[in-house]
Amino acid sequence: MKDIKTLFLEFKNTKEITLIARVRSNRQGKVVSFLVLTDGTTVKDVQVVYKSDVKGYKDAVQARVSSIVEVKGIVVLTPDKQQDFEIQAQEIILLDQSIEEYPLQKKEHSPEFLREISHLRARTKTFQSIFKIRSVTAFAIHKFFQEKNYVYINTPIITENDAEGAGEAFIVTTRQDGKYEEDFFGKKANLTVSGQLNAEAYAQAFKNVYTFGPTFRAENSNTSKHAAEFWMIEPEMAFCDLKENMQIIEDLVKYSINYVFENAREELEFCNENLEEGLIDKLNNVRNSKFVINKYEEVIKILQKAVLDGHKFEESSIEFGLDLATEHERYICEVVNKCPTFVTDYPKEIKAFYMKQNDDNRTVAATDLLVPGIGELVGGSQREDDYDKITDRCKKMGINIEELSWYNDLRKFGYYKSSGFGLGFERLIMYITGASNIRDVISFPRTPRNLLF
């Protein structure tokens, strides 16, 4: 039996067809009636025309929105109509009738209402498009790395690492009393906030590795960009410096976008028409531009000049050491460069302990990729390869050295230039689909006081 995606590819050479699909609408006209059907294999619907002499007519006219029908009929080309073809039904079988109270009737629904029915919202064209693009992008990322012989690593989700004690890690337990020494693992366990440290160990074994898995933050922020559970891609490359790292980031972002253009074109067009005006132009611009590289220190000067020229930032006290906010990031890539921008060589005080200290003794070999409309999309760095420097940095930052000894020890056993980055998968999907809320690119989103399904 053909699915509707295949039918759209082959309709010109198809005469008789049998379809099983869900009813999007069922409208009775004076002479003919119309069933609009979807089977989820494409965002495009099929129109079925039926008359009162069709076999199964009595049931067909009763078929409610969301019911499942089987239709046997003839494909008729309709070049003068909105759609290229329609099906003239010979028989309609009502396989399963929906109840009348189906929540997704034809009218428009608010994103807030749709989030309350996450188990149903993927049936709307908007979410069909978003989650199809999410799936295709995930595969693009795997394909990009596998073609380059990277090894996919499933780093652990449950970890003893508490993310430098920042209090943003969920606890994993079987107890309600906090007696972790009697717990399943015999110690306190957390949900991972990053697979990077484990991936680094594996890069020393395989040269090039990547993770692609869920990460977690128990951060109590109710914004359109934060979720408690989200997926990260964290590649790590041995014998690779910051410059090569940036090239891989740029290649990956472009490859992903190209792959979506080639493999989810209809869905992308739906997003372009319904989620973000100019989306396809924006992505085309990214595909065709060479990303700009700015040193952090340059960026500070640009921002200082912008303030002098009268530009208003919420944080306008701009000097070396400032942790750039989204407003600054967006100004740089949207107003100044008008394209994705790598900012490099951040002050070491605002970056993680594992980043390689530059010779100037005040910056690190780190980079953030800033993209228009989002701000930071990727964060990466070359890793500190000197054992004394990394342990010293841990001590200065109050990090428990014993817990991380296995990680710092990697520097003792032959370690030469390792670099990597973290790409927030949902941010990338928001960027590619134009969805403005992270809750709308996650099948069943988890946010503070929100745990449904």
C-alpha distances in Å from residue 28, one per residue of 72, 94, 434: 19, 16, 36
Q: Quick check: 155 binds its own copies (CB under 8 A)? A: yes
- Alpha carbon distance 221, 250 (integer Å): 30
Q: Which of 33, 196, 208, 382 binds its own copies (CB under 8 A)?
A: 208
The contact mask relative to its own copies for 104-123 (x = CB under 8 A, - = no) is: --------------xxx-xx
CB 366 within 8 A of CB 351: yes
- Alpha carbon distance 244, 208 (integer Å): 13
According to DSSP, the β-strands at 363-371 and 375-382 are antiparallel
Q: Which is nearer to its own copies, 6 or 284 (CB)?
A: 6
Residue span binding its own copies (CB under 8 A) among the ranges 141-149, 281-289, 334-342, 376-384: 141-149
User: Which amino acid, one-letter code, is at 385?
Assistant: D
Our measurement of the distance from residue 346's CA atom to the centroid of its chain's CA atoms, rounded to an integer in Å, reads 26
* Residues between 279 and 338 with contacts to its own copies, criterion CB under 8 A: none
Q: Quick check: 402 binds its own copies (CB under 8 A)? A: no
In the complex, what is the shortest distance from the CB of residue 66 to its own copies, in angstroms, rounded to a whole number? 4
In the complex, what is the shortest distance from the CB of residue 336 to its own copies, in angstroms, rounded to a whole number? 35
The contact mask relative to its own copies for 343-382 (x = CB under 8 A, - = no) is: ----------------------------------------
Q: Which of 11, 85, 127, 342 binds its own copies (CB under 8 A)?
A: 127
**Residue 190, burial from CB neighbour count under 10 angstroms (0-12, 13-18, 19+):** buried
Q: Which is nearer to its own copies, 165 or 214 (CB)?
A: 214
* Residues between 71 and 110 with contacts to its own copies, criterion CB under 8 A: 95-99, 102
The contact mask relative to its own copies for 32-51 (x = CB under 8 A, - = no) is: -------xxx----------
In the complex, what is the shortest distance from the CB of residue 330 to its own copies, in angstroms, rounded to a whole number? 27
- Minimal CA–CA distance to 279: which of 125, 122, 430? 430
In the complex, what is the shortest distance from the CB of residue 312 to its own copies, in angstroms, rounded to a whole number? 36
Residue span binding its own copies (CB under 8 A) among the ranges 50-58, 84-92, 148-156, 285-293: 148-156
The contact mask relative to its own copies for 250-289 (x = CB under 8 A, - = no) is: ----------------------------------------
Residue span binding its own copies (CB under 8 A) among the ranges 26-34, 145-153, 270-278, 350-358: 145-153
Characterize 420-451 residue by residue with b for buried, 16 or more Cβ atoms within 10 angstroms of its Cβ, and e for exposed.
Answer: bbbbbbbbbbbbbbbbebbbbbbeebebeeee
In the complex, what is the shortest distance from the CB of residue 416 to its own copies, in angstroms, rounded to a whole number? 4
In the complex, what is the shortest distance from the CB of residue 202 to its own copies, in angstroms, rounded to a whole number? 6
CB 339 within 8 A of CB 382: no
Q: Which of 270, 407, 421, 431 binds its own copies (CB under 8 A)?
A: 407
Size of the site for its own copies (CB under 8 A): 101
Our measurement of the distance from residue 399's CA atom to the centroid of its chain's CA atoms, rounded to an integer in Å, reads 31
- Alpha carbon distance 190, 206 (integer Å): 27
In the complex, what is the shortest distance from the CB of residue 34 to its own copies, in angstroms, rounded to a whole number? 18
In the complex, what is the shortest distance from the CB of residue 63 to its own copies, in angstroms, rounded to a whole number? 9
- Minimal CA–CA distance to 47: which of 62, 17, 56, 58? 17
- Alpha carbon distance 313, 178 (integer Å): 45
Residue span binding its own copies (CB under 8 A) among the ranges 54-62, 150-158, 288-296, 392-400: 150-158
Residue span binding its own copies (CB under 8 A) among the ranges 27-35, 73-81, 321-329, 437-445: 437-445
Q: Which of 28, 52, 154, 316 binds its own copies (CB under 8 A)?
A: 154
> In the sheet where 341-347 sits, what is the strand order?
151-152, 208-216, 229-238, 418-424, 375-382, 363-371, 341-347, 292-295
* Residues between 1 and 30 with contacts to its own copies, criterion CB under 8 A: 3, 5, 20, 22-23
User: Which amino acid, one-letter code, is at 168?
Assistant: E
CB 124 within 8 A of CB 104: yes
In the complex, what is the shortest distance from the CB of residue 402 to its own copies, in angstroms, rounded to a whole number? 13
How far apart, in Å, do the first and last CA atoms of the chain sit? Answer: 33
